[in-house]
Chain A
């Protein structure tokens, strides 16, 4: 029997998702035994032309990590979509936009200005910026177009399933791969992780008081963090209440609050809005009826960079998707 063909591809990502596949350790051998890897730029020497030469739908599954920010990425994922039976968005960037998606608080002009002109370590007296076409003698060099807006994979192509996480943990990856190989998949569009909130499975939630009221908001570097108490009880914002479980409480176990890389549970449309709503409800504001709007504003202003915090991993997948840019900003 021929083995099912599998492809791995990367877009706007950090390489951590590739690392996560390698981190399967011995399990990777089981995967390699069961499938035939036909494309994996980080590890194997197959080219775009090899994919192009395949029949439509010939690849059983493509695992695609990274957000979509350039013309080349868009072209490649469209090609892979055509050639694949199933497309799995792999990791937070592909699923939600992830950290590269925070670039949606800027656009290409402001990013290029910063990166190629303003950064102190850059020397660029002629203000040269990347061009899609550059003529050198009789040769023309080309670069892919850089979009203003970072997109999630499903904003560019049809996605069958999602494997969440920055990066996805080994057990979630193996469970996903096993489900695919055995054909035991849930309905299309599902995130292959439990549909519970992280607080439900967090070891700190047992001792959590019934009612939490955060009187002061602190950032993790400002206090000595108690390794057992719920972060919210300590005045540290944790996105556990709004985030999907399944990561193995990695950050919590490293004594750091959750920042939401698994994205929201199924019914939630906008992860950031859910998070801010949950956090603001438990602020310990006393005698609120006596407070003016300004007083409440002052308390809420303790939350620094709220958009960056609540949308840390999900900006491109949020309802607003990006910042509105105005000239001269």
Chain B
């Protein structure tokens, strides 16, 4: 499909205030270049990211969600990052059952000093989502009108 080549995905990146958000800041002040397709949402800790936030991002139009947090052992609240990892791993299985392709939800540990890793992780993630193409518009179902007898209107 030609559309996929021109497709500019919308990405939400959740950043922990203590690590990856500072890394993103560092990437900026060091004038590193990166793809622009993302919006950052800052939280106090990756452990604060409720699975509802992630689902909401998809429902509101995100094609991919990247969660970033402190490296193992570095979380300011001891184990918030481990809790986040568990939730994301389980949510990945749940999303698969909801018909999402693998790779639309990922997480990455990034420390405050790793500006370059932030850039690389986000770029790579955006690249992967570009390959996957747009997420089927979930809101389309909500306005589902009359279907006809032969074809389902929601089959992609």
Contacts and interface: CB of A to CB of B under 8 A. Distances in A.
Interface stretch (A36-44, A89-97, A194-202, A304-312): A304-312
Interface residues of A, number: 48
Given A147-B147, A296-B89, A300-B86, A326 B97 contact: no
A293 interface: yes
B83 A320 contact: no
Contact of A300 (B90, B136, B144): B90
Contacts of B93: 300-301, 303, 306-307
Nearest to A315: B98
A22 interface: no
Contacts of A325: 99, 152, 154-156
A230 B20 CA distance: 39
B86 A280 contact: yes
B89 A320 contact: no
Contact of B144 (A147, A274, A285, A303): A147
A148 B50 CA distance: 29
A322 interface: yes
Contacts of B138: 320-321, 324
A97 to B, nearest CB: 13
A326 B144 CA distance: 17
A253 interface: no
Interface residues of B, number: 39
Nearest to A110: B152
B154 A270 contact: no
B87 A131 contact: no
Contacts, number: 126
B52 interface: yes
Given A320-B55, A323-B98, A323-B99, A276 B72 contact: no
Chain A interface, DSSP helix/strand/loop, else mixed: mixed
Contact of B51 (A105, A149, A270, A305): A270
A296 B86 contact: yes
Given A320-B138, A326-B99, A283 B155 contact: no
A200 to B, nearest CB: 21
Contact of B141 (A105, A306, A321): A321
A46 to B, nearest CB: 28
Given A303-B90, A305-B97, 18 more contacts: A107-B155, A109-B152, A145-B146, A148-B144, A268-B52, A269-B52, A272-B94, A273-B91, A280-B90, A283-B86, A301-B93, A308-B97, A320-B55, A320-B138, A321-B142, A325-B99, A326-B155, A327-B155
- Shortest Cβ-Cβ A-B pairs, 7 listed: A324-B99, A307-B97, A273-B51, A319-B55, A323-B99, A280-B86, A324-B136
Interface of A: 71, 105, 107-109, 131-132, 145, 147-149, 155, 268-270, 272-274, 276-277, 280-281, 283, 285, 288-289, 293, 296-297, 300-301, 303, 305-308, 310, 318-327, 329
